[in-house]
Each structure stands twice: as structure tokens, then as C-alpha cells.
Chain A
Amino acid sequence: MSKDADRTFRMERVISAPVEEVFDAFVIPEQLASWWGPEGASIPDYSMDVRPGGKWRTVMQLPDGNKPEVSGVYRTIEKNKRLVFTWAWKQDDGSRGHETEVTVTFEPAGKNTRITLVQSLFAEVAHRDRHGEGWESSFNSLEKYLARAA
């Protein structure tokens, strides 16, 4: 079991553009605002202070009328390589919900870019207890359980 087993999910995607362009799309606010969010979303309000410890937030306008807001803090910025930030949805009572951590890795794949995105469910614990044995395979168990229950 890998040390990443405490992570929730992982996605890979190859984008037909060089790493510099893809990385820019994540860190230049005007660019991010044009693709961030589900199909049909627009981003009427956003702010991004792209430096370690800097805050970010985006408000999405969804086609169904909902306006979810998500915010976090940048933890790591390695130009054209890696981006780590925290993430929490704003709750109805105005508080920030459960915090997760997103790590986006950018790698050249020929003329294209491979993006790997990992979102950890337990941002706090991931940091406090990197070596916690208890995390191993939890989500494999969950998946198996759900497969059985289905």
C-alpha cells in the first residue's frame, strides 16, 4: 500500500499544451475564472493571492441558481511543477466546512502536459500524522464495501 493511501482520489489528464501554459491557467486569476467549476458555471467573484500562505476564494454561479463559494490557502507553489492548496466549501451558516487539500502536479508529456490531481479528504490529519498506519487502505475497503452493497 502506498503512502498516498490516505488520499481520497486521484485523477490524471493530458492537456494538449506545454506545461507553462497549463500552469498559468491555474495561477493567473482571469484564466482560472474562465474554466473553474462545473459545466455552465461562471465565476462572478474571485480573489487569488498566489504565494505560500496566500488566500484564494472563488464564487461560482451555477445554472441552477446556486452560488457555492470555495476558499483556501496556498501551501506550495513550484512554478510549472506543483501546486498545493487547501479547499473548503462555505457553509450555510457562513463558516468554512471540512477542509481538504489539493495537490496538482504538472509534467511534460512530449509537447503536452500531464496533470495529476490528488485531493485528500483529511487535510488536517494528513499533516499531523503522515505516518499513521490507520489510514492505509481505508478507501480501498470503502470501495469494496460499496461494490458489495450495490
Chain B
Amino acid sequence: MPEMPTLFGALADPTRLAIVERLLREGERSVGEIAEPLPLTLPAISRHIRVLEEAGVLERRVDRQWRRYRIRAQAMHDLDEWMARYRSFWTASFDRLERMIEKRRKK
């Protein structure tokens, strides 16, 4: 597992999450393409991309002179696994809650 706080720190920003969403939908994009629909300067977008890259959310591929970014699959699987733990915590707890209440009601 990566450092989840780093991963969440990277995702917990509307611009960065918008970038991640778009790449989840569309696959690989250049910095220029990522910046295009966003109301920010190119240097600002580059900074956001760097945060995402350092947190392991994005990976870079250099295609001739172009830098292209895509989602790092492992990061998404880690996120999914992290969420699955919460889901299993609550499922198991609710099973036990049901049994506890049943027991109390029989008394």
C-alpha cells in the first residue's frame, strides 16, 4: 500500500480530481490537452500534475518531444482496496449488531 494520506492529499483538490477524472475516462493526454478545458495557466496545471505524479497517481510517457500522462493503475487498485476494507468493516459490524440486538431482545 502507498502512503494513503499522500494519495488523498493529492486527490483532495477539485482541479486535481478533475484531471484524474478526465484521464480515467479518456486515457492518455498531453499537458496541453489536460490544461485546455481548465481555467488555469499552464504552469499552474503543471504543478498540479507534478503533485499527482509524485503521489503515484499519474505516470508519464515521453512520446517524441511530448510528455503524456495517464492514470497509474496500481494507485486506483490501492484506492479500491482501501475502500473495500471500510466496506468489509461495516458489513461485519452490522452482522454483529444484528446478533447483539437479537440476543438482547430474547432476554
Contacts and interface: CB of A to CB of B under 8 A. Distances in A.
Interface of A: 8-9, 11, 13, 15-17, 21-22, 25, 31, 34-39, 97-98, 100, 115, 117, 119, 121-122, 124-125, 129, 132-135, 137-138, 141-142, 144-146, 149
B96 to A, nearest CB: 4
Interface residues of B, number: 40
25 contacts: A13-B94, A13-B98, A15-B97, A15-B98, A15-B101, A16-B101, A17-B101, A17-B105, A21-B101, A21-B104, A22-B97, A25-B97, A34-B96, A34-B100, A35-B97, A37-B92, A38-B92, A100-B86, A119-B90, A121-B83, A124-B12, A135-B17, A138-B17, A141-B25, A145-B71
Nearest to A144: B24
Contacts of A17: 101, 105
B101 A39 contact: no
Given A35-B93, A39-B92, A149-B73, A142 B86 contact: no
Contacts of B87: 9, 11
Nearest to B5: A98
B4 interface: yes
B102 to A, nearest CB: 7
Best-buried of B15, B94, B97 by chain A (most CB within 10 Å): B97
